Structure 1
Amino acid sequence: MLFKELNLSVPLQKALKDAGYEAATPIQEAAITLLLEGKDLLGCAQTGTGKTAAFALPIIEALAMKTGQGPKRPIKALVLAPTRELAIQIADSFKLYSKYLKLKTAVIFGGVSQNPQTAELGQGVDILVATPGRLLDLINQRFVRLGEVDHFVLDEADMMLDMGMIHDVRKVITHLPKVRQTMFFSATMPPEIAKLAESILVKPVKVEITPVASTVDTIQQSMYFVNKKNKTELLKHLLKNLSIESCLVFSRTKHGADKIVKALEKGGISAQAIHGNKSQGARQLALKNFKERKTRILVATDIAARGIDVEELSHVIIHDLPEVPETYVHRIGRTGRAGLGGVAISFCGQEDQNLLRDIEKLIQKKIPVVSEHPFPMVPEALEDKPVSNSAAFGNKPSRQGEGKRTENTRQPKSQGKSWGKSPAKGSRKIG
């Protein structure tokens, strides 16, 4: 469906045309009309599907008819996001779409001085995008009042749960009017998130776009078996030998991300890290350099990566397999955006093989194994012994059982879904 076929006002259509938007994505087509009717929405969509526009455009359309002026204008729309980067990205989208309207959007987040943010709030705001912690601080200081909010968006709810923000989110909700339109987005649906959605939505419509299997089918995936101590050496080897235009590398921890960057730079490969321990300025600079291709390699944790929106990212490399299988899909979804092709490379050590089984069960396919590389995985008892060339490139341990690249096309009987419960840590079974 084309945007001009949707029931959007002329100023919005003009802004979309300026931005090069022509055809609506599936989630936009499914959600916009329903939200224009004022319905609550429970949404699930993989990264790169146009989710922000799906909720931003109906909100802007609704507010364009009833906006106030000056410092007396109350906040009419609130969007909660888990990270600073994502909050900034969402606010920028609202500003882009509403540029021909007299709507004012502000963004607030922690880690920086609140003074510029409170000054902007004092000038009057129609749309507020915020992280939960800073928003609560400003509510308690009476810089923010939410009593006239008509539209509330909770974005990336599952990530907020992972980051320990759900208690703050519940507190924010107590400051909202009971009569409002609510939009709830979560990539996964663990019990606590399902309970929260049920408590704040009223007769919602459910929109689920792009099942896991179809998302991963557009991406060329491969798995390298490598001992933990050799993962970064293998990473350096691949970055030097493969044709990689831009690469997002995933680390499980902040400390690990810094170690990877240090090792890459020592090997003559320019890279930057982005994670929660970095200052806001450092994170924004690293992201800006990556988007502008001044930095080819960006190393990130899952939480920091939620705010990364980069078109035509050629490669994703997963240095550490995630403990929750759905996270694997979100990681590789950073490449192959909105149906485009991409390459996702993962490293698997001996300690990661149960995680790999969970991932393959979810995506319903075996990930092809690349056996021919300089750092083949050897049993722990043999790690300190020399490995011959024949062992490195021939009869070495391989999950596929052969010393060459193979693909197992067997399909598991069970079908994984991104809406299913995420296994709790330590609850995985072998086999």
Structure 2
Amino acid sequence: MTEITAETLPARLSSPRLSARVSAAESASALARLIASGRAVTRADLVRETGLARSTVAAGLDALESVGLLAEDGYLTSAGRGRPGERLRIDPTFGVIAALEVDRTGTRVALYDFGQTAITTFVLPESVMSDPDALVEDVAREIRAWLREHDGAPEVRMAVAGISAPVDVRRGTIVGPPVLAGWEQYPFERRLSEAMGCPVIVRNDADLRALGEARSLPPSESPLLYVRLSVGVGAGFTDAASELFTGVDGAAGEISHMKAVLREGVACHCGGIDHVASYASVAAMLERWNASSPARASEDVEQFEAALKRRDLDALAIASEAARVLGSALVDVLLMLNPARIVIGGSVLEASDTVLATIRAVVYESGLPLATRNLTVTTSALGEQAGLRGGLVLALEESLASVNIARYIGL
């Protein structure tokens, strides 16, 4: 188990709109989300933000406090003569949230408290290339071991896992990865929940990265499209309200399998021909890099990225061609989604600015002016923490949803 560092950043949580007739659990849920996101942290703020009666707000706060979800956090300084408002916060000790990101390099795990602070983070060697049952058991065992070592640590309330594979969001299963032995229709969500003893949500890794990125930025930066360049090419999308859009089954954002502009008859790992991943993925770049010289027939991704860093001409040409293919695909995506921001993530972007520069050039040159005039194409603000932060956001929102608030307070 390798320790990694995690940065604590504020995250916006969504809050449902309230009508005149809401249940006690719905009003308490809205109050909890507003407090957790920092949008309203005093009783007066909550009344003003929700439009609820003072008595309804007071009852909701009393219910949250009775189950240990609410804590006092001092007083806000008053600008006038009025009494300073008591500052409220979600009690960090209410529980632990586990966020996971599983890809071909390993499994990144972060444990957060309910105050959105990372308690510990580590990397496990098991990956999507490992046996899924072994991965599940290893993750659960390591988290249980950490809880035992920290006697008095609160229970894990919720876990969210992002995985570099197509996910059926209705079933919580992995779908159609022909190169991942043992994962086809694997009930990842159910098995991980059984092993950890808490509710679990499974999503595609790029979806969680999009959510983490969108909620770390101002609302004006959504709709947001996150593209992860790795072994494949994954994408996640958040709408104008910064809500994750996965489609009816979870296939939204699978741009790996869009038809590429090149037509060289290159096979995709899914069995198709001339898909975007066939040319634009890091795996495709590495294959072309190794094929370009007998002296490097079996180099790995790190060696290819090292060549990019030293500005090897062959490596730069391969990365530039891949970026042109991806940029052309994004021009088509622009016409469907019209995002305010496209974020490109992946270690290859840290190795060279060629990929981002080429994608920008293609998108701005070929995209419809109406779709590009206010568009930002950039790298991630959160880096490799984006997916873990997205998992935290999704877990917090689910934990503070009305159905779970009702369970906490016994309604």
Q: Return the TM-score normalized by structure 2.
A: 0.30
Give the number of the structure whose residues are more often strand, by fraction.
2
Q: Return the TM-score normalized by structure 1.
A: 0.29
